[in-house]
Homo-oligomer: A and B are copies of this chain.
Amino acid sequence: MAPDDPADPGMYDPGLSYTTVAQTNLSRLDAEAGELYVGGYPIEELAANASYEEAVSLLFEGRVPTADELQSFCDELADLRTIPGPVRELLRAVADSTDPMDALRMGLAAADLHTDPTTAAKRVAAVVPTIVATHWRLGRDEPVVEPDADLGHVANYLWMLTGERPTSERVDALETCCVTLLEHGLDASSFAARTAASTNADPISAATAAVGTIKGDRHAGRFADAFALLESARGADDIQRVLRDRTNDGLVPGFGHPVYQTRDPRAAVLSATLEQTAPETAAETIETIDRLDEAAQDVFEPEAEGQEQRPEVTVEFPATAVLDSLALPPALFAPTVAVARAGGWAAHILEEYSEPTLVRPSAAYVGEIKSDWTAVEDRYTAGDRLIARPPQSASLEPLTQTLDVLSEPNRLELLLALYDSQEPLAYSDLLAASTIDDKGQLNYHLRTLRGPFVADTDAGYRLTDTGERLIDAVLENDRLLDDDLSDDK
């Protein structure tokens, strides 16, 4: 579908929401139907059945593993969990000053193993939980818990976070959560990973790009905000008001996934999980989400012209409710999304390597073209403008002879008004722009100025080149302005 002519300027699509940039075997998002298939399976089926390792293996291999293959894959991931001593020392040094997502970026960036791409991609999935948990415990002055190769990926994450053997119920719930969030097409983070991989950069570099992208508060950084909104909506009488208070530039956490035109299909999956993890409060939470949804239909304007849809509920409310029910604090929401998504990043990186296409979009230049370089010692500012020091030529010699013209404040005022205007000014504009309110006065001053300083053209009054250069010179020398216009000296 690319234009036939390479010189064609192509599409202007700043968010790339109209652009397909890859073919993928990893997932399919149906924006209109609100359906998600990961590794070919409906997300409902995958989340209900697959362990995290099984789902990651599915993405890596294009099919579910056999029992033997799964065991090997689990063993390999478990072997890749440990972080090197210097990385742990770095995490220790920044434990008190650094938030978890920054620590994850630091730790992952430093986790390079210099192995082959597939192992490095597995390393990404394996090491992210260790970095998050290590930094978390260091920041709370708790002893670091080493990864335990006897535990599965998700169980081990909970173990490293808490230092306690997690119940199978907790593991199952978090596993469902992680599989649900594992892969979601080209969200900004996965796309950043593929962009890096498209240059043939290594998987650790590409995944670090993804971590640096997902942390933003328009991405996984929103999860904690969504939870805060959910909490403040719980039991609130005026839920529309709660929503309005949270609306900022039309963006509200918990609403408006950039792809789905319906409710995010992952929301239902995790609402069902919530009924397992918080049986006593789940119904109320789900009702609160529905009330938020209802209120949103009144509060939100359609996002943009041409869009009929109002923002719909995303996965963020139920996902954060599940994480909260598992006693994960909001500071760990975004890192846990990264833990879940790391396997998806790894799969995207390997998929990009299989058929790399260097990503190289264009930007439309909207600035000026200049060609009058002025050496720094010849540059001065006048108000907000930068001007070059005028050439020291004869053209400025009349300056002294014309000082008396300028010594009349009204005349200087007129010249400055013309100088500030980008376009010629009509007589009425000049009258309005100056403090002169007598037309006779204005006519007199204009007559004095016209010729050398001001031109009277069909389009209106404008400064002559000499007039412009004169004002340049005047503005450069605040002294002149002070002498003539200011009283406080």
Contacts and interface: CB of A to CB of B under 8 A. Distances in A.
Interface of A: 1-29, 31-32, 37, 39-42, 45-46, 49-50, 54, 62-67, 69-70, 84-87, 89-90, 93-94, 97-98, 102, 105-106, 108-110, 112, 114, 185-189, 191-192, 195-202, 204-206, 208-209, 211-219, 221, 258-259, 261, 306-307, 356-371, 373-377, 379-381, 386
A377 B185 CA distance: 29
Given A25-B366, A70-B376, A2 B12 contact: yes
A13 B21 CA distance: 5
Nearest to A54: B376
Number of identical monomers bound together in the oligomeric complex: 2
Dominant SS among interface residues on chain A: loop
B66 A376 contact: yes
B213 A363 contact: no
Nearest to A31: B7
A27 B90 contact: no
B374 A64 contact: yes
A397 B450 CA distance: 110
A31 to B, nearest CB: 8
Contact of A89 (B8, B89, B261, B374): B89
A188 B16 contact: no
Nearest to A309: B6
Contacts of A211: 205
Contact of A6 (B4, B64, B188, B307): B307
Contacts of A25: 365-367
Contacts of A27: 363, 365
A110 B106 contact: yes
Given A86-B93, A377-B67, A16 B105 contact: no
A195 B191 contact: yes
7 contacts: A3-B18, A17-B361, A105-B204, A106-B109, A106-B110, A108-B109, A188-B199
The interface centre, meaning the residue of A65, A87, A357, A367 with most chain B CB atoms within 10 A of its CB, is A367
A6 B31 CA distance: 10
A373 B11 CA distance: 41
A293 B320 CA distance: 58
A369 B5 CA distance: 35
Contacts of A358: 15, 188, 218-219, 258
A200 B222 CA distance: 10
A49 B373 contact: yes
Contacts of A64: 374, 376, 379, 386
